[in-house]
Amino acid sequence: MAIFNRNVDMGAWGVSGTLWRLALPSMFSMFFHTLFHLVDTVFISWLGESSLAAMSLTFPIVFVVFALVNGMATGTTTRMSTALGKGRKDEARGYADAALMLVLIMSAPVVPLLFRPWSNSFFSLLGGSGDVLSESYRYAFWMVLATPMMSFSLLVDAVFRSQGDTVTPMKSMILGNGINALLDPILIFTFGWGITGASIATCIGRLVSCIYLFSRLKKRSPIIPAISWARDHLAKWLSIGRIGLPVAISQGGMGIGAAILNRILAGFGPAALGALMLGNRVEMFVFLPVFGFNSALIPFIGYNIGKGDFSRVRGALRVTLLSSITMTGLVGTLVYIWPEFVLSLFKPSSQVMGMAIASIRASATAYLFAAADISFWGVFQGSGYPVYGMVAQIARTLAVRVPAALVLSGAFGLDGIWWCQPISAFASFLISTFFIFKVMDKIREGMELSSGNNEDE
């Protein structure tokens, strides 16, 4: 299909068509990624509430590492896209080399979880006890071993996306997660490895994804990141980090906020922890289109800032907002009306089912605000001003959601906790809306200044 052509011209083709060509492969990637994670959760939920609670406890830790690495990958996408928009291929190649070393180093902090005493101490702080602690260790062990592979994949994804190729990352995602889904029932049930089998399946899937991406790099990309050291690596790390660190803090804040929320929910028992995990898994489908456009917006904004075309930047924000809000409204309405349709796949107890439905329906009241908020983050990241998105995200996940959960749980019990999600989403939307006008002005002024300097030269 023509819509899946590689290396989209982000500076010449129509804005709407270009964004859709970039976004659709990302949507497919995220759809299958979410689907296979859903399958993971389904199988683990069949093992019992302790296994599901262990997955819920482990998820924020995995997500924090992912956030750190993905932040640097996002910074790399922006820096490489801007360099390529200016016609500086060697500069883009230098960013790729520097970033590879950086993300591999960032994979190290979770290594202590490979050792049982460290794992037990850590997860007990998050509210785990008894069987949940044992299951958390079994699940986390292979996830930690897979972390360097995840880091490599995210960096190579960034290299392809910066060149307008979102198809290759899509195929990598489908391949790796497809293998994970195929191996899950075999390793979990046929071999009898339980939650360990789910973790091993994920590890194997990531290994296959890495092998595929490396083979595609050699055939399709003029830029191949290499493990090397150059004198300007530190300077490039700082440049990438100016964008990547706020993104990482933003996403890491989500993981930390989720861990704190888990701690609060742990007081209501494993069923409440499992219900939150199931609710989050279902809601991931709602925001697939939004994150697809967000992924497309980052290289598009960076490339056209490098090219000096503000009209395309402004048009991209308009197209993304309209598309994301419309699709989120449609899917979100279906999920609000029939959450049982997907939740029934997990075969939850009636108690967990009721809790998960309450969580989803409370969150759904702010879906449209969240969709607009995520669209704004794409502009913040692609333009090199991610600190604004970081402020909004930290406000949502920590400054508003955690206190709201504590207050509402004290006043209304478990039912009150679910409403901390829409309250915090609306607060983040208000903050991002204020910042987006400032950022668009900064982009325009920066282009005018750059154009004036070029004319003087």
Q: How many angstroms separate the Cα of 313 from the Cα of each of 6, 14, 301, 306?
A: 21, 12, 6, 11
What is the Cα–Cα distance from 391 to 397, expressed in whole angstroms? 10
Q: What is the pLDDT of residue 4?
A: 41
Quick one: pLDDT band at residue 442, thresholds 50, 70, 90? very high
Distance (Å, rounded) from C-alpha 21 to C-alpha 9?
Answer: 10
Q: Inform me whether the pLDDT recorded for 2 exceeds 50.
A: no
Spell out the residues 6+ positions from residue 406 whose beta carbon is closer than 8 angstroms to its own.
Answer: 264
> What does the longest C-alpha to C-alpha distance in the chain come to?
72
Q: Report whether pLDDT(288) > 70.
A: yes
Inform me whether the pLDDT recorded for 279 exceeds 60.
Answer: yes
Rounded to a whole number of angstroms, the CA Rg of the chain reads: 21
What pLDDT score does 45 carry? 82
> Of 25, 3, 22, whose CA–CA distance to 378 is shortest?
22
Over residues 209-223, mean pLDDT: 91
pLDDT at 452 over 70: no
pLDDT digit string, tens, across residues 70-92: 889 989 998 999 898 888 999 99
- Residue 6 pLDDT class (50, 70, 90 cuts): low
Going by C-alpha positions, the residue among 366, 363, 370 that lies closest to residue 433 is 370
Listed residue (165, 200, 164, 201) closest to 182, CA to CA = 201
HSE value, Cβ hemisphere, 13 Å, CA-based, for 151: 25
Averaged pLDDT of the chain:
87
CB 136 within 8 A of CB 58: yes
**Domain regions of the chain by residue span:** 2-450
**What is the tens place of the pLDDT at every residue in 31-75?**
777 777 777 888 888 888 888 888 878 877 777 788 889 889 989
> Which residues, in sequence order, are CB contacts of 86 under 8 Å at separation 6+?
306, 307
Supply the pLDDT for residue 52.
Answer: 82
pLDDT tens column, 307-331: 888 899 999 999 999 999 999 999 8
Per DSSP, the three-state class of 349 is coil
Quick check: 362 pLDDT over 90?
A: yes
